[in-house]
Structure 1
Amino acid sequence: MLVLACRGVQIGDDNEQFNTYTYELQDPTVDFAKVLSRPAVRDALNRLIMDPKNDELRTKAAEALCAGKWTLREEELLDLGPLGRRSPHSDVTHGLKAMQGYITVRNCQGVQTGDSCYQRNDFIYVCRRATVSASSLLKSHPEVTSSLIDAVVMPSQKEWKEPGEKLNAAVRAALNSPESLDAIPDRSINVSPRSAGVLRDRDGVSIGYRCHAADFKAVMVELRDPGNLPKCVVKESGRLMDHMAAQLRRQASARRESPSAPSAPSAPSAPSANAPLPIARDKRRRSVTSASDLDRLLPPPFPQSPNRGPEPPSGPESPSSGRGFGL
């Protein structure tokens, strides 16, 4: 067996090895643009921007962000890309031969030979072109979904610093979660000393019987400006603001152009007990008394003597002009 350009190599039986793998992601790319461009997501965000405090609309927007196309193979959350090695190990072994020539070690760092040994290795990788699947990230981490909605729908009055820091902190915490770290494949390897072949560019190599290796992983996200938001998020937020302004203008225009509807006639109200009664016009009363009725109402005429003729009417100074009857 040829072990070539490896780091942290143990050769022997009953050995224990503890390896820590740290991945430094320098400005990783999160493809939020692909998710935000979905028609269902845009429709849900368009509704939410008109009523940002509506919990039901917010829930529907989160569901639209987390919903993706069904695929036979689940998309990996993190693609580390090319790894640049950076390790504190400095010793390099050239042409070491061990175990009666069965194993040849060349250009390796941190080589340990013997039985029942203990070795601890710290490996650091610089990832300058790491990419994060936004779809997988949003499905598995609700806090990232909530921070993304806040960034595009309710930007802070402090421009973009506050929502940017909140979203980046959520992404950083998500990448260091157990689910995300488990998605990174283990790098250590344990092989039999009688195996044939070449081991090249491996970190954490254990060659022997009854050997045990424990791997620990960590992710460090380095951003040039932790308050910066991805350009696609800023662009989507601007589109939503334009949509809201256009909706408000259309509503205002519709209110100005719509004619006022005629008011229905009100039903007459019952007169109040204290309200003054209306003054009726004075109408001339018609007489309903007939001529026969008048004859009955007048007193009967006095009987006259048959020998006396009719007397002439008395003048104004006549004694009979007073009350009583003249003699």
Structure 2
Amino acid sequence: MTIKAKIAVLISGAGTNMAALVYASRIADCPYEVVLVASNDPQAEGLALAQAEGIATFALPHKGLTREAHDAAMEAAVLEAGAEYIVLAGYMRILSDGFVVRWAGRMLNIHPSLLPKYKGLDTHARAIAAGDSHGGTSVHVVTPELDAGEVLAQIAVPIVAGDTPDTLAERVKLAEHQLYPRAVADYVSRWRDPVALLERVRNLALAFPETDERESHGSPGFRVGGEKSGKYFAYFADQHHGTPHIACLVRTGGMDELLNLVEAQPEVYFKPAYYGASGWIGIILNRPGVDWDAVAEWLTRSWRGAAPKRLTRLLDVADEF
């Protein structure tokens, strides 16, 4: 049985994008489920729809509360519902930096323009006034800077003669309802997509000096030191040797370290077949919430362990200061 990602949807009004997300989630192969719909307006129409669909709801007016206090209450409801991601769907509140940082990489928004154009409000009027041929909509990762996070998906919508901001908005809304469920589904599935995971490992591994990629024992491997004398410092393994793991394999300091890590954090590490006997450890990637900074640190350490001294000498000197 496939484990579905749990999302909380924050709304302020009719919640049509929320409805699109809910009904898409009812399709059998959808990788997410909506576990909460929350609003800063107890009268928001979308709350009634969510209740009719049997989804938990939460509402708290923001008037009289500091931004941080209101965000904390919303976040508490999200956590109580067990949500792993927050999806903003017409939530007309600027969130506090602390809230956004705590959910970094786990909060998405949809914006009615082709970002990076027209951040903020009045997007349709601005696109028409500029003489643009198209308006549109973008799904992006939420960051403290308004509408500035990574753009995950977009749909362009033609601007036709006689368009007003309202007529353009109507057509863009139709595009939003198609785009948002698919973009959310793709995003929450990235943690189990071997193509996406390999690309992320590849980008990290090949960023080091004098590295190249070469297949070894059926796995993509990453080497340092040149064509003839290069040594492997990492491998990407996609459920090899009967394990359920998609993993990045890196060098450890030895068997004691490997076994201690596996015993202490079995949800993060495992001893890979074949490679484990040589002190290599597997970092499990097909799980929610992977700490990619930690993966990058492991790759750095493994690269330094395999790289020739002429490449690591300056780094070794820098470590002394």
TM-score (norm 2): 0.25
Q: Which has the larger radius of gyration?
A: 1
TM-score (norm 1): 0.24
> Looking at both structures, which has the greater relative contact order when contacts are Cα pairs under 8 Å and sequence separation is at least 6?
1
User: Hey, which of these two has a bigger chunk of helix by percent?
Assistant: 2
